[in-house]
A and B are shown apart, each in its own frame.
Chain A
Amino acid sequence: MKKILAVLFFVIAAVIFETSILPLFFSKGTVPSLVAILLISATIVFGFRTMWMLAALAGFILDIFSYSRVGVNAAAFLVFCYLASFFSRRLLLEEKLEGIAAGSFLVAIETFFYGLWVFSANSGFRIDDFHGLNYILLESVGWKLPFNLILFFASLLFFKRLEKNFSSKKLIMGN
């Protein structure tokens, strides 16, 4: 129960951080996708089976706080976490350079499709606003990607350490 409450607290804290704090530090449309990136890096470290329900829940909470249609973020996070689960081995075990390339590719896909998805789903899948689409894809995504990449590798490092810490604690307890 304690664990569930702690996780819920972190999810809500991340959502509040994304909607109430980050928009002040970044110009319009370039706010990093904090919750999405945290979920992706956590899925890479902890695995899809641990993360998929949390991804849906975090998406639902972000939908609520960001006045989006319910399901927009939840569906996107589930798909991203599913995709991220295929990158786990590559990022954790293989050569550093390949890991960085694979991670960057994943974040680039996330940034591009997340912006597109949120824009079109929230506007009821209207495809007549080409100017809006163009803006989201070129200007917004272009600036957003570097921030998302930095956030991704920083959070990946954090979750890796967290997992190492937990597993070493488990070993000590076991002994």
Chain B
Amino acid sequence: MSFNFFSTKLFKVLVAVFIFLFFIILNPYNFFKPIRGAFFFIFSPFQKIGYSAAFEFLEAKNFVSSIGQLKKENERLIEENQNLLAEKARLSDIEKENEKLRQEIGLLPKDKFNLEAASVISLDPYGHGDWMEIDKGEKSGIKKDMPVIVGDGILVGKIDEVYRGSSKVMLLSNPRSGINAIDSKTNSKGIIKGEYGLGIILDMVLQSESLNEGDTIVTSRIGNNFPSGLLVGTVDEVGVSSDRLFQRAVISPPIDFSRLRFVFVIKENN
């Protein structure tokens, strides 16, 4: 019996791997976009159900494990509530002043955004690309590069790819995010992007500018389609770039991007 290499499993693997390598190197991403869109159109409801069920389960688990702490928490909240009532009175004054200042420096009031609420339906399983998928797409008027926020204006990322009923959001922790930002206290300018293992970085800050731990970083109007004043996070650690030309800071975001259920897409500023 003669040995036939072409019928071996190694031959099959080699042929298939070469075909896939060809696709990987050429990367015809747009060629596969309709297939991706069709898959997401069919399966995004199932992704949404899976994600919501897992989220509810986690919430329930956290609730059960925290029952013992509830009494203490309740006492603490009562005290905090009293403090907050006093704080509220003080803040109403500051709010008026803030509104006036925002008008002066051209920032938009946060309630003037045209927001589209969306549910998160999947996350990056590798932890490299740092993306999330939401259940709103072209049908809801979502477009590429629209900012994505949570709460009262905490920036999460921007829209990267849009499909009919879903979109891919590039998170701030993605190395390709590149969003212009400023230190709200010192006005130092830099670029926000992700870095593996470190999280979010404010990069390209000139050596002559001032950057301090604890400072708040917000989006800037320069070069962005984003509204200015969206919260990015606080400065955790200040250092210098590898070429020693710029300062860079590790930014601590106020929320955990991998534990979000709902987000808002800013469609336009009213």
Partner-B contacts on A (CB < 8 A): 12, 16-25, 27-31, 48-49, 52, 56, 59, 61, 64-67, 69-72, 74-75, 78-79, 82, 85, 115, 118-119, 121-124, 129, 131-132, 134-136, 139-140
Compute how far the CA of A61 lies from the CA of B39 in the bound complex, rounded to whole angstroms: 9
Interface of A is mostly: helix
Contact yes or no, B20 A75, CB < 8 A: yes
Say which residue of A20, A66, A136 sits within 8 Å of B51 (CB atoms). A20
Contact yes or no, A79 B197, CB < 8 A: no
Contact yes or no, A71 B127, CB < 8 A: no
Contact yes or no, A65 B127, CB < 8 A: no
Q: What distance in Å separates the Cβ of A72 from its nearest Cβ neighbour in chain B?
A: 6
Question: Which 8 pairs, one residue from A and one from B, show the smallest C-beta to C-beta distance?
Answer: A29-B127, A71-B20, A135-B197, A23-B123, A75-B20, A71-B23, A135-B196, A132-B196
Contact yes or no, A78 B13, CB < 8 A: yes
Does any Cβ of A come within 8 Å of B129's Cβ? yes
Compute how far the CA of A139 lies from the CA of B196 in the bound complex, rounded to whole angstroms: 10
Contact yes or no, A24 B196, CB < 8 A: no
Q: Say yes or no: A19-B54 contact (C-beta < 8 A), given A71-B20, A139-B197.
A: no
Does any Cβ of A come within 8 Å of B27's Cβ? yes
Partner-A contacts on B (CB < 8 A): 9-10, 12-13, 16-17, 19-24, 27-29, 32, 35-36, 39, 43, 46-47, 50-51, 53-55, 58, 121-129, 131, 133, 161, 168, 175, 195-197, 258-259
Contact yes or no, B13 A66, CB < 8 A: no
Contact yes or no, B17 A75, CB < 8 A: yes
Q: Nearest residue in A to B58 (C-beta to C-beta)?
A: A24
Contact yes or no, B20 A49, CB < 8 A: no
Say which residue of B39, B129, B175, B259 sits within 8 Å of A65 (CB atoms). B39
Q: What distance in Å separates the Cβ of A117 from its nearest Cβ neighbour in chain B?
A: 10
Q: Nearest residue in B to A121 (C-beta to C-beta)?
A: B24
Contact yes or no, B125 A67, CB < 8 A: no
Compute how far the CA of A79 lies from the CA of B126 in the bound complex, rounded to whole angstroms: 19
Q: What distance in Å separates the Cβ of B263 from its nearest Cβ neighbour in chain A?
A: 15
Contacts of A78 in B (CB 8 A): 13, 16-17, 20
Q: With contacts A31-B125, A64-B35 known, what are 6 further pairs, Cβ within 8 A?
A: A16-B43, A31-B126, A67-B124, A70-B28, A132-B197, A140-B127
24 contacts between A and B (CB under 8 A): A19-B122, A20-B123, A23-B124, A23-B258, A24-B123, A25-B54, A59-B20, A64-B36, A65-B43, A69-B29, A70-B28, A70-B32, A71-B21, A71-B24, A75-B17, A82-B13, A85-B9, A115-B126, A119-B126, A122-B126, A131-B195, A131-B196, A132-B196, A135-B196
Compute how far the CA of A59 lies from the CA of B123 in the bound complex, rounded to whole angstroms: 17
Contacts of B195 in A (CB 8 A): 131-132
Residue with the greatest number of chain B CB neighbours at <10 A, chosen from A23, A72, A119:
A23
Contact yes or no, A69 B46, CB < 8 A: no
Q: Say yes or no: A67-B35 contact (C-beta < 8 A), given A78-B16, A131-B195, A139-B197.
A: no
Q: Nearest residue in B to A74 (C-beta to C-beta)?
A: B20
Q: Nearest residue in A to B31 (C-beta to C-beta)?
A: A70
Contact yes or no, B17 A20, CB < 8 A: no
Q: Say yes or no: A69-B23 contact (C-beta < 8 A), given A85-B9, A136-B128.
A: yes
